[in-house]
A = this chain, B = another copy of it.
Amino acid sequence: MDIQVIGVRGLPLIQRGDDLPALISEKVAFEDGDILAVASSVYSKAKGFTRELSAIVPGADAVRIAAKTKEDPRFVQAVLDSSTDILLEYPFILSELPSGHIGVRAGVDHSNVEDGRLIILPPDPMAAAAEVRDAIRRITGKDVRVIVTDTCGRAFRRGQTGIAIGWAGMTAIDDYRGDTDLFGHVLEITEEAVVDEIAAFANFIMGESHQGVPAVVFRNCRAWNGHDNVYFMPAEDIIRTALKENKKD
């Protein structure tokens, strides 16, 4: 069966306190097994995961880094507040978040929000995905799968792509270990990060300015089995180690 990909259009500008799952459910006739991708930015706005720039007092590290990156020290402070480990300070802050996600500027954003306000990523994006999933089941009776997406740069290639920061009703990774290829060989490439592949295409549908499409529904997608260990342990992450080594110089 062909897969359908449906951009959810016509949602109002999301405000703090809005019931995002209810608003989406008004626009989509969900079916069991649908995958709903939601932009973390609208989830955060609905939940009030935003900060007033004017209320942030930058510390010494934020002032020091902001002098290099030419950003507002209060913005840098918000990035540091969202981070558990800094891998790179310049030309942009690359840091780890409590979830394990490593991202540019900790996903702190001042696009698509009122002046003087920052959107931060949901502090617990896995719980966010589970909450949206549960709410849609409660509202519609349908068992959907949910991915919370962010937009992020990547190593070696210019341009941002969508990635998954939270998911519910599925594993992050489709684990082929032990499967065989068309010739009966045991597969070498064995772990496919399917949540990120779906989040990437969702981000293409949303568009980077989000074009009023903050959620995307995927219908007729296969199920898979695997695990959720999408984040490396620090010791096994070669690139993280190289960046930390260089930071010491």
Q: List chain A positions with a Cβ less than 8 A from chain B.
A: 2-7, 13, 88, 91, 102, 109-115, 151, 154-163, 172-174, 176, 179-183, 185, 187-194, 196-198, 200-201, 203-205, 207-210, 212, 221-222, 229-232, 237-243, 245-246
Using Cβ atoms and an 8 Å threshold, which residues of chain B touch A2?
4-6
Using Cβ atoms and an 8 Å threshold, which residues of chain B touch A191?
158-160
What is the count of identical protomers in the complex?
2
Shortest A35–chain B CB gap in Å is 10
Using Cβ atoms and an 8 Å threshold, which residues of chain B touch A180?
209
| In contact, B201 and A197 (Cβ under 8 angstroms) | yes
The residue from B115, B174, B203 contacting A208, defined by CB atoms under 8 A apart: B174
Q: A3-B4, A156-B237, A230-B159 are in contact. Are A189 and B208 (CB under 8 A)?
A: yes
| In contact, A157 and B230 (Cβ under 8 angstroms) | yes
A103 — nearest CB in chain B belongs to which residue?
B156
Shortest A146–chain B CB gap in Å is 16
| In contact, A159 and B176 (Cβ under 8 angstroms) | no
Q: How far is the CA of A196 from the CA of B193 in the complex (A)?
A: 14
Q: How far is the CA of A1 from the CA of B112 in the complex (A)?
A: 25
A6 — nearest CB in chain B belongs to which residue?
B2
Using Cβ atoms and an 8 Å threshold, which residues of chain B touch A204?
192, 194, 197-198, 221
Q: How far is the CA of A200 from the CA of B194 in the complex (A)?
A: 8
| In contact, B232 and A242 (Cβ under 8 angstroms) | no
Q: A239-B242, A242-B239, A245-B242 are in contact. Are A112 and B192 (CB under 8 A)?
A: no
Q: Considering the complex of A and B, which 4 residue pairs feature the smallest CB-CB distances, nearest first?
A: A159-B193, A201-B201, A155-B155, A200-B200
Using Cβ atoms and an 8 Å threshold, which residues of chain B touch A229?
158
A87 — nearest CB in chain B belongs to which residue?
B156
